Homo-oligomer: A and B are copies of this chain.
């Protein structure tokens, strides 16, 4: 809608790939160097972009701080956190909390496994949307039409032999997840890692977040992990209750 701002903001994902100098930025934006310079300067003033000693630009610290604040006023996170910790204390595995927003599913909280062998993941990292158990729950709750159109637009990378291969398979899986009210990812992302997940719902019954317990095969088998399902669901329901009682800020679907 606003060309100048649009260009300026396009610089951010570009720099997220790694530092770049003025020329590179100008080229990739398709604008004159002087224009790029002024945009970068403005971003710099706001601390979103930082200049290294070699004159190249990279993303700035302010961005990290902003993101931090962004997460801190997500109500779900505040409410869910203690419950995630408790669940972790009970089962010892990695616990994740994720939300769906604008075509992305991302982790907004995490409690680390207490076993020495842990899965890799990071808060803020977008999730493998076609295979992650939490992603299935979040997408399964979208209205039919929406779900279908999203599914068609996605890529289906074959992380492993058990990854969701294509849109029809994904939609079928979503249907199943929708009916049973929980989801799993059995080696669909990393061969040796399994997850079980349950939805967190707002006052209107819509899924606002999803939580999961993940563990590698070497620690527990998929079957053993599944025995935790009731506990996970109970925790999710408790959070749902607390959440809908308190601040029913549901998110609009785009």
Question: A residues touching B (Cβ–Cβ < 8 Å)?
Answer: 1-2, 4-6, 8-10, 12-13, 16-19, 38-39, 41-43, 45-48, 50-54, 58-73, 99, 101-102, 104, 106, 108, 112, 122-126, 249-252, 254
Q: Are A70 and B64 closer than 8 Å at their CB atoms?
A: yes
Interface of A is mostly: mixed
Query: How far is B249's CA from A122's CA once the two chains are assembled, in angstroms?
Result: 25
Q: Give the residue name and chain of the B residue nearest to A73 (CB).
A: B18
Q: Are B16 and A70 closer than 8 Å at their CB atoms?
A: yes
- Copies of this chain present in the complex amount to 2
> Whole-angstrom distance from the CB of A120 to the nearest CB of chain B?
12
Q: Are B52 and A251 closer than 8 Å at their CB atoms?
A: yes
> Whole-angstrom distance from the CB of A210 to the nearest CB of chain B?
14
Q: Are A42 and B6 closer than 8 Å at their CB atoms?
A: yes
Which chain B positions have C-beta within 8 A of A13?
Answer: 66
> Whole-angstrom distance from the CB of A159 to the nearest CB of chain B?
19
Which 8 pairs between the two chains have the least Cβ-Cβ distance? A67-B67, A68-B124, A59-B70, A16-B69, A61-B101, A9-B46, A53-B252, A64-B124
Q: Are B122 and A68 closer than 8 Å at their CB atoms?
A: yes
Which chain B positions have C-beta within 8 A of A16?
Answer: 66, 69-70, 73
